[in-house]
Amino acid sequence: MRFEIQSQTDRTASGAAYVHYKAWQETYRGLMPDEFLDSHTYEKCRRYADTYQNKFVAVVNGQAAGFAAFLPERRDFCSAESAGEIVALYVLKKYQKAGIGKALMESCLNKIEKREVVLFVLKGNENAIGFYRRIGFRPTGREMIQQVAGGEITELEMLLKR
């Protein structure tokens, strides 16, 4: 499968938002409360797509197939003191296992200047946890529990040391 990784622009933002929305529906059903997942609308994803400045979109045949976003400096609640952070990495199910996630991750890692990179992954999302492990991320042992509509979700912190 041929794909291209692009920096997100206004032109690709709606595709990235769709990927974000659709990937949540495909991946998280059964891993988080339905009530919370059902409140995760395309419109919310579109606003999220505008939140971060550092984003990449994977394009297949002119359509967004995946997207990733990063921060050059981690957020305050991360355990690593000096790290960049991957804040999003989503690939539509039909494009998974084609190298798109890895290419998106590499694009982010190439832009993060810090020697350490942190991310959070939903507990129980074994495909994503395995993917991050293959890249070199390791669990820190830190869990972040959030109360959400319909219950709670737990995210695991993972760290890459380069």
Residue type, 59: V
Residue type, 134: R
Strand ordering across the sheet containing 55-60: 4-7, 55-60, 63-71, 84-91, 116-122, 151-161, 138-148
> Which of the two residues, 161 and 10, has the higher pLDDT score?
161
61 has a pLDDT exceeding 90: yes
pLDDT, mean of residues 150-160: 98
Token pair for residue 98? 């084609």
